Amino acid sequence: MASGADERHGWGPAGGCRLAAFMIALIFGLALAVLAPLSPGEAGAAGTDPSEGAAAQAEADAGAGAGEDDRLFEALKAAPDEATARAIENRIWRVWMQAPDARTGELVREAMARREVYDLAGAKSLLDEAADRAPAYAEIYNQRGFVRFLQDDFDGALEDVDRAIELEPRHFAAMAGRALILMRQGRHPLAQKQLREAVAIDPFLKERGLIAGEPEPPVKPGVDL
């Protein structure tokens, strides 16, 4: 999710609330934007059409391991500026989008494509199949949560992002998505709490501006205020 809802996403308002749909698109759809890099290897990791180098990139990301994940999140929390944070977010997204098997990956990518053309029922059906195949793969639930949000199924969307966070406790995007779902339900104190928890993981989280009394971006060490 480099920019948020742009022409590549094609997502419109849900439930008559244009702002909420736009913001939820920033969160759940960021994978499409940041996972469309220019290099062949990165394109393969993003789930686009296979090309030379894609297999090598996927293997490298899949083999990163918990230690590398920890280093990425440590670097994200310590990022000195927004550009650096976005680059680290992109690397984290490439890890998150690595499905446990090829067919599950195909189902998730096809579901995202269906969602782009507003085939929400088709997208959900594919993600249901993916969840049956790989019930421990967090990104299925993050993506299905977005689809259910667009279907005005806020309880179902919340159930899915809760599962995504259970499987990937540092999933700052699912946390931000959860906050927006809570806002739609009128549960604003809980939404604020969830946003702050997400910002604790990713200080430059795009949705930090939704926090009441927006926290200032981290300041580089040695800079006088």
pTM of the entire structure?
Answer: 0.71
Local confidence band at 214 (pLDDT 50, 70, 90 cut-offs): low
Q: Does residue 78 surpass a pLDDT of 90?
A: yes
Q: Please report the pLDDT score of residue 216 as a whole number.
A: 56
pLDDT digits (tens, 9 = 90+) for 170-183: 999 999 999 999 99
CA distance 84 to 137: 27
* Cα–Cα nearest to 82, from 210, 211, 209, 213: 209
Q: Please report the pLDDT score of residue 193 as a whole number.
A: 96
Q: Is the CB of residue 178 less than 8 Å from the CB of residue 156?
A: no
Q: Does residue 159 surpass a pLDDT of 70?
A: yes
Report the topology of domain 18-45+67-210: 1.25.40
Output 186 or 64, whichever has higher pLDDT: 186
**How many Å separate Cα 187 from the centre of its chain?**
22
Q: Please report the pLDDT score of residue 219 as a whole number.
A: 59
Q: Please report the pLDDT score of residue 7 as a whole number.
A: 26
Lowest average pLDDT, out of 58-67, 88-97, 144-153, goes to 58-67
What residues does each domain of the chain span? 18-45+67-210
* φ, ψ dihedrals at 14, nearest 5°: -120, 135
CA dihedral 215, 217, 223, 225 (to 10 degrees): -30
Q: Please report the pLDDT score of residue 197 as a whole number.
A: 97
Local confidence band at 199 (pLDDT 50, 70, 90 cut-offs): very high
The answer for 103, left when phi > 0, alpha when psi is -120 to 50, beta otherwise, is alpha
pLDDT digits (tens, 9 = 90+) for 79-130: 999 999 999 999 999 999 999 999 999 999 999 999 999 999 999 999 999 9
